Amino acid sequence: MSDVLYWFLFAILVSLLVMFASYLLIRIIRNYLEKSNGDIKRKAPSLSESMGEYTITFTDGDIQKDNEDLEGDIESEGVFEPTNPRSLETLNSLLDVEKRVKLVENEAILFAGGRKNLRYYDINEQFIKLMIELCDIKCDESELRDRKKRIMLHIERCQNVLKFKCC
């Protein structure tokens, strides 16, 4: 009977040691993630490679409705002129925002925390600020408006990827 008791106590001791070791391992990993702001350094594909290209399809009825709505607004359909300083300034602003979106996108891809991590809210806040900055840019030319829409859609996709990674 004493042999059974010793084996029972030995099994309890081993299970306690395993639980303690796993607890220590979790603490070590948590400390590492807190020191590195939740970022695990790894090479990840860009969002455009992982998500594919974003395409929008319209039916003929939608295009006809849009054309009817824009009939009185013909002067706003300007063409991009590289010699126009205002167009160049707008293009430079769009390129600057696009470059910063790519930097924040890389942070979002490498983010490994959850919604309880402050880094998640920091990245999401950066996306929102970039979206607001894009809304403040006034585009007179249709090519610049199209580029602005593509950047906005890209920011929206990046936010969705960030949200889905944390859920």
- Residue 113 makes CB contacts below 8 A (sequence gap 6+) with 33, 38, 119, 120, 166
Give CA–CA dist 87/110, Å, rounded: 35
What is the value of pTM for the model shown? Answer: 0.52
The count of other CB atoms within 10 Å of the CB of residue 150 is: 13
Contact yes or no for 119/157 (Cβ under 8 A): no
How far is it, in rounded angstroms, from Cα 90 to Cα 145?
Answer: 10
The residue with tokens 């003929």 is 60
**Tens-level pLDDT at each residue, the chain (167 residues):** 678 888 888 888 888 888 888 888 888 877 777 776 655 554 444 444 444 443 334 344 444 444 454 444 434 455 666 667 888 888 899 999 999 999 999 988 888 778 888 888 999 999 999 999 999 999 888 888 999 999 999 999 999 988 887 76
